[in-house]
Amino acid sequence: MPLALFVLALSSFAIGTTEFVIMGLLPEIAAELPVSIPQAGWLVTGYALAVAIGAPIMALSTAHLRRRSALIMLMGFFILGNLLCAIAPGYWVLMIARIVTALCHGAFFGIGSVVAASLVSEDRKARALALMFTGLTLANVLGVPLGTAVGHAFGWRAPFWIVTLLGVASLIGLVSVLPKGEVLQGNLIRELSTLRGLSLWLALLTTVFFSAAMFALFTYIAPLLRNITGVSPRWVTLTLLWMGIGLTVGNLIGGKLADWRLGATLAGTFAAIALTSAIFSITSHSFIPAEITLFLWAAANFAAVPALQINVVGFGKEAPNLVSTINIGAFNTGNALGAWVGGVVIDAGFSLSRVPLAGAGMALLGLATVGLTLATVRAKRAPLPSS
């Protein structure tokens, strides 16, 4: 695999860490600012909505730039946003800082995915994407638990200072190794014309329900573990590390499965997410069963990521930059939806142990959209998109 893929993985590690580390620090942020846990959860929702809204806008506004230049510019926004998070004096400044950070997120992953796929042969594209997104999974293996531990020890701002430095390192890497010759295509009419197909919108809706299923649970994992499972803040960190290992395993397996059979991979992972989420609503009351279930849940979730990206890009091959970026926006629309749904469950007075059931429901909706996509493709007598 080319060195540029590993730099993209480092960049995705930095972006993933700043997005997800807040999950383990919600109680601390809520206590200091001060706001309620669901209000602190809106920092997740606000970030996700900013990605969803900003992703296509940033992609189109950078369409005239070389991919290398666009990625470098977007990483600059990322560094600025994290610096603002680290010094934010109150809740709304922190929210604005999160939004600034999020502006780079969707377009970076969208353009970066196209670059990653262009660096390898046709039969290795899903694995190249999996390698890039391994940075995202490693953010959960290392970035989130270590950031949570640092946040517990030195305050919730400390992880954002560290991520700012990671952003600087990523920027140096991008400047050093990204290919210089390729230019983004800036034909706006042609780019937008790819958004008319029903199959593409079903694929994007599938992505939305995937992220909603994940973040309905993941947003509130720290208070759930502390209040229902009964673990200490230290064990929350270790559990996030354990889940991160599951995410990594699932992502690597998912890349190979997506190259093999895309439709079966999507259907199987959604079914597994629904099942493990429902089981966790029961096992969350006991430590060891909860840890086993969370590992399996995490693996099922990130096994779907490469398949979801290939699925969408396959239906919009004429404008891969825009379509890939919109799919990242779809991921984050789902993040916002999931965080909101989980918060609704809590605000309605239900136990935190009921939150995973909301995630299971979102996963079943995702499974239904996979079925509709397959039916639409078969009706047109066309094969599923290849990697």
Number of separate helices (H) and strands (E) present in the chain: 17, 0
Is residue 258, in this structure, part of any structural domain at all?
Answer: yes
Is residue 301, in this structure, part of any structural domain at all?
Answer: yes
Round to whole Å and give the CA distance between 239 and 175: 36
Q: Spell out the per-residue pLDDT of the chain, length 387, in tens.
A: 678 888 888 898 999 888 888 877 888 888 888 888 788 888 888 888 888 788 778 877 777 777 788 889 899 989 999 999 999 988 999 999 998 888 888 778 878 877 877 777 766 776 777 778 778 777 777 788 888 889 988 989 999 999 999 999 999 988 888 877 655 545 555 666 666 677 788 888 999 999 999 989 988 888 899 999 998 888 888 888 888 888 778 877 877 787 777 778 888 999 999 999 999 999 999 999 999 999 999 999 888 887 887 777 777 666 666 777 778 778 878 888 998 899 899 888 888 889 999 999 999 999 999 888 877 766 665 555 554
Could you tell me the two tokens for 249? 């395993």
Q: Is 312 helix (H, G, I), strand (E, B) or coil?
A: helix
128, 73 Cβ separation under 8 angstroms? no
The count of domains in the chain is 1
102, 93 Cβ separation under 8 angstroms? no
Q: What is the pLDDT of residue 275?
A: 95
Is residue 210, in this structure, part of any structural domain at all?
Answer: yes
The CA radius of gyration of the chain, in Å to the nearest whole number, is 19
Of 325, 309, 298, nearest to 129 (Cα)? 309
Is residue 115, in this structure, part of any structural domain at all?
Answer: yes
Give residue for tokens 């953010």: 139
Q: Which domain holds residue 298?
A: 3-379
Q: What is the pLDDT of residue 117?
A: 74
Q: What is the pLDDT of residue 387?
A: 45
What CATH number is given to the structural domain containing 321?
Answer: 1.20.1250.20
Is residue 385, in this structure, part of any structural domain at all?
Answer: no
Q: What is the pLDDT of residue 381?
A: 55
Is residue 271, in this structure, part of any structural domain at all?
Answer: yes
Round to whole Å and give the CA distance between 379 and 357: 33
Q: What is the pLDDT of residue 377?
A: 67
Cα 38 to chain centroid, rounded: 20
What number of other Cβ atoms are within 10 A of residue 387's Cβ? 23
Round to whole Å and give the CA distance between 115 and 10: 14
Is residue 386, in this structure, part of any structural domain at all?
Answer: no
- pTM comes to 0.72
Round to whole Å and give the CA distance between 49 and 283: 31
Listed in sequence order, the residues at least 6 apart from 363 whose beta carbon sits closer than 8 Å to its beta carbon are: 209, 210, 213, 270, 271, 273, 274, 277
Could you tell me the two tokens for 44? 């997740």
Burial class of residue 381 in the structure, from the number of CB atoms within 10 Å of its CB (0-12 exposed, 13-18 middle, 19+ buried): exposed
Cα 338 to chain centroid, rounded: 12
Is residue 384, in this structure, part of any structural domain at all?
Answer: no
Q: How far is CA 271 from CA 70, 296, 299, in A?
A: 37, 12, 13
Round to whole Å and give the CA distance between 64 and 117: 20
